Amino acid sequence: MALLELKNVSKIYGDLKALNDVSIQVEKGEWVAIMGPSGSGKSTMMNIIGCMDKPTIGEVLLDGVDISKESQKALTDIRRDKIGLIFQQFHMVTYLTAVENVMVSQYYHSMPDEEEALEALDRVGLRERAKHLPGQLSGGEQQRVCVARALINHPELILADEPTGNLDEANENIVLDLFRQLHREGTTLIVVTHDPEVAEAAQRTIVLEHGRVAREVINENFSNQ
């Protein structure tokens, strides 16, 4: 059974169909890239998959549960337990240090554990900067903290909305390497991107246009050792 399945999903704002009858499947452990021009509905889809929004029409099955029918509270629980989020603008709580930002995620999930949070920072190569505030970190470093925060609770599914949009090539590669690691560990990845290089790192690319799935491309050169 697929980890995630969208069945004829539409999201309608007034007379605008941000998503228009979208049906996709993502298998457990799969790494999928989503591309498309601006306004094509990528973020709208991520919000729905990430349990932060509900479709106007259609079903969204996550681990066999139709999240389009769940209550707000249940959605929060699912998001907390199963999903790790990474954003384009590396959102961090500005008055908390790097390690504390990671611990925020732990706090809502279970119990803050500084040791574990430091290990997660170690994975993204930022153990030394654990006590720095976001303002004292570069954009790339901030995004790596966000990756650490997303993986701290061992989510089944990581959703990343343009994670490398604001990064230079070196930092982009660091983030992609982290994704490769996560993929090797069996984490399912859905990455929205404008960058073909980032999309090529994935196993499969779904292209959206005007709220519809325009095409799907399997990356035949995919390898992740």
Ligand X SMILES: Nc1ncnc2c1ncn2[C@@H]1O[C@H](COP(=O)(O)OP(=O)(O)OP(=O)(O)O)[C@@H](O)[C@H]1O
Query: Which residues of this chain interact with ligand X, rule CB under 6 A?
Result: 13, 16, 18, 36, 38-44
Q: Least distance in Å: CB of 225 to another protein?
A: 32
Q: Which stretch binds another protein (CB under 8 A): 8-16, 18-26, 89-97, 217-225?
A: 89-97
Q: Tell whether the torsion through CA atoms of 83, 94, 53 and 24 is positive or negative.
A: negative
> Among 19, 31, 33, 43, which residue interacts with Mg ion (rule: CB under 5 A)?
43
Q: Which stretch binds another protein (CB under 8 A): 29-37, 40-48, 179-187, 210-218?
A: 40-48
Beta strands in the chain (DSSP E): 4-13, 16-26, 31-35, 57-62, 65-66, 83-86, 157-161, 188-192, 204-209, 212-218
> Among 20, 40, 68, 88, which residue interacts with another protein (rule: CB under 8 A)?
88
Which partner, ligand X, another protein, Mg ion, none, binds residue 105 by CB below 5 to 8 Å per kind?
Answer: another protein
Nearer to ligand X, 50 or 126 (CB): 50
What is residue 197's three-state secondary structure? helix
Q: Least distance in Å: CB of 162 to another protein?
A: 8
Nearer to another protein, 52 or 217 (CB): 52
> Which residues in 92-125 are b (16+ Cβ under 10 Å) and which e?
beeeebbbbbbbbbbeeeeebeeebbbebbebbe
Q: Least distance in Å: CB of 44 to ligand X?
A: 3
Site for another protein in 61-80 (CB under 8 A): 72-73, 76-77, 79-80
d(CA 44, CA 132): 33
Q: Least distance in Å: CB of 36 to Mg ion?
A: 9
Which DSSP string corresponds to 29-46? T-EEEEE--TTSSHHHHH
Residues interacting with another protein, by CB under 8 A? 43, 46-47, 50, 52-53, 72-73, 76-77, 79-81, 85, 87-89, 91-94, 104-105, 108-109, 149, 161
Residues interacting with Mg ion, by CB under 5 A? 43
